[in-house]
Structure 1
Amino acid sequence: MGSITVSNVGKAYKHYPNKWVRFVEWIGLPSAEPRHKLKWILQDINFTVSPGEAVGIIGMNGAGKSTLLKMITGTTQPSTGSVQMQGRVAALLELGMGFHPDFTGRQNAVMAGQLLGYSMEEISRLMPEIEAFAEIGEYIDQPVRVYSSGMQVRLAFSVATAIRPDILIVDEALSVGDVYFQHKSFERIRQYRKQGTTLLLVSHDKSAIQSICDRAILLDAGVLAMAGDPEAVMDFYNAKLADHQNQTVKQEVTATGKIQTISGTAEATIADIFLIDEEGRRIEVVDVGQPITLRVLVTAHCYIERLIFGYGIKDRLGQVVYGTNTDLTNQALDNVEAGSSICFDISFPANLGAGDFSIQTALCSTDTHLVNNYEWRDLALVFSVVNISKPNFVGVAWIDPIIRIVRT
């Protein structure tokens, strides 16, 4: 089993005012003052990935995610600190990295396998499996330059995971290509995880991070901004996306031990939120398929030209089962006066599977909180669904099928 230890890692590049200054420094002429400035991409990064653990790395473009992975895999050396890894490593970083465009897919697979430490005997034995998993057909013997980006990913992933590695490092490459192969790839990753592979995953895919990873790490402007439970980190990241506004972002530990993220300008806030049944009684436990109403009481603390309310139902892993808002339903409120109180009633059948669910809410001016985020609240309400009146089933949704069987 593999492990990764990143200690005080930083990466800086030299910035010169022009190419002649760079040349003068290169030839070694003495100078009383430094001829370059350091531009830090990453600073003081510390974390450990334990054997068998899955850790996701997230952050906006330019946060330093790819640079960090390159230092972890050894393709770039850190300016400060160190990276230690134990175990055999397989990495899938930049799309097609290491593939020669004029060689065939088969030839590139052989070379990539050798770089991963496979012997020629192992490569020959694994080649039929690599071909079968990649599913690129006769293109395996065509030059890589004629491949689509999706075909390159298929071949690269098939080679990198032909033998279960101790450590698997995957960058955004899997986001390229068709949905079918993405599902196929993540299923192999899940299988390897069960067998003890340590995983380091960089992705903007919230569902992938929350469903696969034990922990998540948020990089922001080259520093480690937060590490912890994937749902809490993703909620904080979502709040940071609107950080150009005059808003506050706070996190609180709820009575259940989960971390709740609340962000926004507080120009409008939720005063109360609860579920009621058909008789108007507050409830916290819901039967599968039961008609319920989500009641949300909102207070406007100043004049708001346009107010949109949105909500999402999340499962226990923090993945959104369903969400919508009053912009999408053409029910925006215009010219909301300061001090106004608004009641939003959302009625629906609880066609959910048994388990724990939460409600996230948003008060903004458009269909996204990135423009005017008055309040975004995760874990605004937590409730449980039990199956009292329906046949047994599995999953997070009650679809109530009609199954017809015809024997001939």
Structure 2
Amino acid sequence: MKSIIVNNVSKAYKQYSSKWNRFVEKVMPGNIVLHKKKWVLDDICFEIEAGDSVGIIGVNGAGKSTLLKLLTGTTKPTKGDITVNGKVAALLELGMGFHPDFTGRQNVYMSGLLMGYKRYEIEELFLEIENFAEIGDYIDQPVRIYSSGMQMRLAFAVATATRPDILIVDEALTVGDAKFQAKCFQRIAAYRKAGTTLLLVSHGAEDIVKHCNNAIFLKNGRIEAQGPSRSVTNIYLDELFGKSKTKSSKSERVEAKNSSLTELASSENTDIFCTRPGYRKEEHRWGHGGATILDYEIKADHVSYPSRIESNQHTDFYMKVRFDEDFDSVIPGFLIKSLEGIFLYGTNSYLASQGKQNIEVKAGDVKIFKFSFPVNLNQGNYLVSFGISSGTPPMELKPLERRYDAIIINVSRQMAFWGIIDCQSEFDVVV
């Protein structure tokens, strides 16, 4: 049996150049048209079997939320038709349907009635909802004073108070703490085992792989790929991290795809850093001059510019530098940060070689430097920075060129741990 059938669905919204045009179009006789149509979904087709778990993934603006609104009946398609079989529970936008001035208790009753429950059914379910949400005395406080995590707790508890035929979750769980997320996914797993169809929207490829059998990758309002979740998320990650985000010549695009160390060494000595996969135009580039970081390469398991790096995988980070002045000693540097800006690991040639190497350069020299280590990080996205300085540690170094937060990498891990860095603890039973 099919839970969801989406057949040639497209959705457009009217766009007016002014409020006056909107007013004129509505009140003037005839079929005067003063708007343009903005198509956010275009010819979407897919079917979901009952009991299946499907992830929907894509960048912001791809059409994910619009598709979910169509599936829940919040809005209607411009073209095509949708068939949904069974009771639907949806957690779309955080606090959606909650009145900020009502207490949590009042919102439970109001949301339950909107979901089709009878009042006596809500009364029977209320204690279970309260216990699952774990917000304590806040249940009788106005929702406007709730944190985002507390709103998510209560919203999820209400939406899943009884097992629905179809459960739709749109990013809301990302605001919860890890313990409560585990509790939510435990309930979802139990419902799936009992036959509930899961539709999960997330920007996290690992969440899709972990919780969904299949996935749909939306891009610019169309289905770019659909199939087994790991295959589809690989395509999605390659779209994010494995392709150039800026326009470049055909030869540069081919080089970015097939580059090896030999090609990096033999390429022209021009600044093509921004053409490489994973480059961030938001980088912070600064320095006193005298050297230019021209290019970089990341290699894991002999693959250049991998769309994802497995946690603990040995990885090489190369940077290519041109020197415009003579220097008695230069120090290449490397840094990894979290997306929040937390410094996770930084080193330089002096530290990595324990002071055994002195690098002297002449004006016109082009050098390629390499940092190699296992990426002992938890699953997630991280920022990479390169730098080149002059001087001799432990004396003060003079930054010649710094490209901070210039690259984004994705690290995957089959089983996540708590925290960010894997300290590779060992365990044994002593007695």
Q: Settle same-fold status: TM greater than 0.5.
A: yes
Write the distance in 2 (CA, Å) between the matches of 1:152 and 1:372.
35
Any residues of structure 2 matched to 1:376-391 within 5 Å, and which?
none
Does 1:308 find its partner at 2:297? yes
The structural deviation recorded for 1:140 is 0.7
Quote the residue 1:134 is aligned against. Answer: 133
Any residues of structure 2 matched to 1:38-53 within 5 Å, and which?
38-53=37-52
8 Å contact kept, 1:247–1:266: no
RMSD: 4.0
Quote the residue 2:122 is aligned against. Answer: 123
Quote the residue 1:182 is aligned against. Answer: 181
Any residues of structure 2 matched to 1:95-106 within 5 Å, and which?
95-106=94-105
Any residues of structure 2 matched to 1:238-249 within 5 Å, and which?
238-241=237-240, 242-246=243-247
SS of structure 2 residue aligned to 1:266: helix
8 Å contact kept, 2:215–2:227: yes
Any residues of structure 2 matched to 1:360-379 within 5 Å, and which?
none
Quote the residue 2:311 is aligned against. Answer: 321
The structural deviation recorded for 1:17 is 2.2
1:363-401 CA distances to partner (integer Å, 9 max, x unpaired)? x99699x9689xx9999xxxxxxxxxxxxxxxxx99541
Quote the residue 2:255 is aligned against. Answer: 266
Distance 1:399 1:372, change over 3 A: closer
Quote the residue 1:7 is aligned against. Answer: 7
Write the distance in 1 (CA, Å) between the matches of 2:134 and 2:2.
29
Unmatched segments (≥5 aa) in structure 2? 270-293, 303-307, 318-333, 336-345, 350-358, 377-383, 388-402, 413-422
Any residues of structure 2 matched to 1:186-335 within 5 Å, and which?
186-241=185-240, 242-246=243-247, 265-267=254-256, 269=258, 299-300=263-264, 302-303=267-268, 305-311=294-300, 320-323=310-313, 326=317, 327-328=334-335, 330=347
SS of structure 2 residue aligned to 1:232: helix
Unmatched segments (≥5 aa) in structure 1? 249-262, 272-296, 351-363, 380-396
The structural deviation recorded for 1:168 is 0.2
Distance 1:138 1:378, change over 3 A: closer
Quote the residue 1:403 is aligned against. Answer: 429
8 Å contact kept, 1:268–1:302: no
Quote the residue 1:153 is aligned against. Answer: 152
Does 1:18 find its partner at 2:7? no
- AA paired with 1:163? T
The structural deviation recorded for 1:111 is 1.6
8 Å contact kept, 1:307–1:365: no
- AA paired with 2:311? V
Does 1:67 find its partner at 2:70? no
SS of structure 2 residue aligned to 1:201: strand
Write the distance in 2 (CA, Å) between the matches of 1:177 and 1:15.
36
Write the distance in 1 (CA, Å) between the matches of 2:347 and 2:95.
45
The structural deviation recorded for 1:239 is 2.1
Distance 1:247 1:86, change over 3 A: farther
SS of structure 2 residue aligned to 1:38: strand
- AA paired with 1:322? N
Calculate percent identity across the aligned residue pairs.
47
- AA paired with 2:86? G
Write the distance in 1 (CA, Å) between the matches of 2:116 and 2:24.
42
Distance 1:312 1:61, change over 3 A: farther
SS of structure 1 residue aligned to 2:236: helix
Write the distance in 1 (CA, Å) between the matches of 2:26 and 2:39.
21
SS of structure 1 residue aligned to 2:427: coil
1:117-166 CA distances to partner (integer Å, 9 max, x unpaired)? 22223222221111111110010111111111110000000111111111
8 Å contact kept, 1:2–1:167: no
- AA paired with 1:189? I
The structural deviation recorded for 1:325 is 5.1
Distance 1:126 1:378, change over 3 A: closer
Distance 1:319 1:331, change over 3 A: closer
Write the distance in 1 (CA, Å) between the matches of 2:33 and 2:226.
36
1:70-107 CA distances to partner (integer Å, 9 max, x unpaired)? 11101111111111100111000001000011111111
8 Å contact kept, 2:3–2:197: yes
8 Å contact kept, 2:13–2:38: yes
8 Å contact kept, 1:298–1:343: no
SS of structure 2 residue aligned to 1:162: coil
1:37-93 CA distances to partner (integer Å, 9 max, x unpaired)? 111111111111111111111111111111110111011111111111001110000
Distance 1:95 1:47, change over 3 A: same
- AA paired with 1:67? T
Distance 1:174 1:87, change over 3 A: same
- AA paired with 2:300? Y
Distance 1:110 1:46, change over 3 A: same
8 Å contact kept, 2:310–2:411: no
Q: TM-score, normalised by structure 2?
A: 0.66
SS of structure 2 residue aligned to 1:22: helix
SS of structure 2 residue aligned to 1:99: coil
The structural deviation recorded for 1:29 is 2.9
Write the distance in 1 (CA, Å) between the matches of 2:297 and 2:347.
10
8 Å contact kept, 1:2–1:52: no
Quote the residue 1:37 is aligned against. Answer: 36
Write the distance in 1 (CA, Å) between the matches of 2:430 and 2:161.
42
Quote the residue 1:252 is aligned against. Answer: none
The structural deviation recorded for 1:404 is 3.5
Write the distance in 1 (CA, Å) between the matches of 2:212 and 2:151.
25
Q: TM-score, normalised by structure 1?
A: 0.69
SS of structure 2 residue aligned to 1:109: helix
